Amino acid sequence: MGVGPRPCYPTGAMTKPTPPISSDANLLDKVWNAHTVRELPSGQTQLFIGLHLIHEVTSPQAFAMLREMKLPVRFPQRTLATVDHIIPTLSQQRPLADDLAEKMMGAIETNCAEHGIRLLDTASGQQGIVHVIGPELGLTQPGMTIACGDSHTSTHGAFGAMAFGIGTSQVRDVLATQCLALSKPQVRRIDVSGKLRPGVYAKDVILAIIRELGVNGGVGYAYEYGGPAIDAMSIEERLTVCNMSIEGGARCGYANPDETTFEYLRGREFAPRGAAFDRAVGWWKSLASPPGATYDDRVELDGNAIAPSVSWGINPGQNIGIDERLPFPADAPPEERVSLEEAYGYMSLKPGEPIEGTPIQVAFIGSCTNGRISDLREAARVARTGRVAPGVKALVVPGSQAVARQAEAEGLHEVFRAAGFEWRLAGCSMCLAMNPDKLVDREICASSSNRNFKGRQGSPTGRTLLMSPAMVAAAAIEGRVVDVRGVL
């Protein structure tokens, strides 16, 4: 662990050149510098935000505060809106059946119209979970600062962007000033060496990282993911890894931009075109952390050793490999024992038992973690091998309208339907309990989402087992948790 030289910034300057930066600066150093407006008296940095994404849940109060302060939106063209959290996935016919949801839809429509903000609603054909549409439209690009009133904004770091989840008062700050007051995080480089074995996915990598470093191990840090296993990943896989940085307590997470990133962006609607694309690639390349970059901390994980992982407890760090047995609290450090006991109490599982074989009643494939086309393809591969077990409710919810269209063009929806899965409309669905998709009572859900908190999926006593989409599909078919490696 070595603390590198910290770059310094001029203070309060009205205009100033980009401060010099050392040759061993990491991506975060460079992106931070490029967006620094000034140092604030509090010691924080006033950072320009290049892309602001908003949705219906955390923005209405921000617009209300703006109105109260009689302020306009400073850069309306740098904010983009969509609807995802409350939107039903069975019928999106307006007015929505839920009055409160309809009211929220109305609010974002009015606010966007009033302030000249582009809204990608269900009629646009581009609606979806905010962290799915940003990347797929080419809005998310390397070197950007991105903010959104949603903790999983870290997802966008997959492109080498600095992406922060913020609260509603900060949404107001960005609307009013296109800036945030932030403290610069430290950077922890996480190298994942080796090669993932078949049946092991990006989801298993991030679950393994969180298990290793803990749910608050990342506090104060940005996580930079690298090493052979990350380099070999597609953008969609990197999105899955960066998505759950927040579950590890990190402020944000990112992977360095490379050829995979550039090829993904080429031709996307909001990506630069023609000669500008080539100039962009030049800048993007210059941002990547060089091989000798300085970090505040470094850790390495052996990618060869990662197994399909399943969470068994009430936070994402409480997960184990599918072939392992549930931990004994007595073996854990004393400060963790209380949490483990609480988790066993809530989950009604027993130490020493295998997680494999745990019966499930619900299977959910979707969310900003695993609701992209590659996730659905992997789940469909498994769905082709059988039918959903009797008594299991299985949902497949595409992360966006574009993902849904692509899946339908490939016939995946028919594969799922034939196997007994429900094929739904795009939205956050059962990842959280703000729309009609919810667990009931003590149901156990095999879920490709990111949070297994108590009550997260809508029943105050419902239980969530986090795993990869392929593992969820396998669990749906068997009616219990199984090792997907035996199915594929």
Q: Does 487 bind another protein (CB under 8 A)?
A: no
Q: In terms of Cα–Cα distance, which of 340, 311, 240, 317 is closest to 464? A: 311
Binding another protein by CB under 8 A: which of 309, 456, 463, 473? 456
Q: What is the pairing mode between strands 145-148 and 162-165? A: parallel
Rg for the chain, CA atoms, rounded: 22
Min separation Cβ 153 and ligand SF4, Å:
9
Grouping H, G, I as helix, E, B as strand and the rest as coil, residue 71 is: coil
Q: How far is the CB of 92 from another protein (least distance, A)?
A: 16
Give the one residue of 4, 9, 76, 151 binding another protein; rule: CB under 8 A.
151
Among ligand SF4, another protein, none, partner that 368 touches (CB below 5 to 8 angstroms by kind): ligand SF4
Q: Which of 127, 155, 170, 367 binds another protein (CB under 8 A)?
A: 170
Q: Tell me how far CA of residue 64 lies from CA of 53, 67, 108, 109, 171, in angstroms.
A: 17, 5, 11, 14, 11
State yes or no: residue 67 binds another protein (CB under 8 A). Answer: no
Q: Which stretch binds another protein (CB under 8 A): 102-110, 371-379, 387-395, 397-405?
A: 102-110
Contact pattern from residue 192 through residue 231 relative to another protein, giving x for each residue in contact according to CB under 8 A and a dash for the rest: -----------------------xx--xx-----------
358 makes contact with another protein (CB under 8 A): no
Shortest distance (Å) from residue 61 CB to ligand SF4: 18
Q: Does 46 bind another protein (CB under 8 A)?
A: yes
Stretch that binds ligand SF4, among 119-127, 378-386, 426-434, 469-477 (CB under 6 A): 426-434
Q: How far is CA 21 from the centre of its chain?
A: 30
Q: How far apart, in whole angstroms, are the C-alpha atoms of residue 181 and residue 147? A: 12
129 sits near ligand SF4 (criterion: CB under 6 A)? yes
Q: Where are the alpha helices (DSSP H) in 373-433?
A: 373-383, 401-409, 412-418
Token pair 């009033």 in the structure block, residue: 114
Element containing residue 259 per DSSP (H, E): helix 259-265
Instruction: Work out the burial of residue 483: count CB atoms within 10 Å of its CB; fewer than 13 is exposed, 13-18 middle, 19 or more buried.
Output: middle
Among 27, 28, 52, 58, binds another protein (CB under 8 A): 58
Strand duo 422-423 + 444-447: pairing: unpaired
Q: Does 71 bind another protein (CB under 8 A)?
A: yes
Query: Cβ of 323: how many Cβ atoms within 10 Å?
Result: 12
Report yes or no: 143 and 284 within 8 Å, Cβ to Cβ. Answer: yes
Strands 45-48 and 36-39: antiparallel
428 binds ligand SF4 per the rule CB under 6 A: yes
Closest separation between CB of residue 149 and another protein, Å?
6
DSSP reduced 3-state for 146: strand
Closer Cβ to another protein, 150 or 236, answer by number = 150
- Number of shown-chain residues binding another protein (CB under 8 A): 86
Q: Does 178 bind another protein (CB under 8 A)?
A: yes
What does the per-residue mask of binding to another protein show for 380-409, with x meaning CB under 8 A? ------------------------------
Task: Tell whether residue 403 is a contact of ligand SF4 (CB under 6 A).
Answer: no
Helix (H) or strand (E) holding 101: helix 99-115
User: Within a 10 A sphere around the Cβ of 339, how many other Cβ atoms?
Assistant: 17
Q: Which residues bind ligand SF4 (CB under 6 A)?
A: 84-85, 129, 131, 150, 152, 367-368, 428, 431-432, 449-450
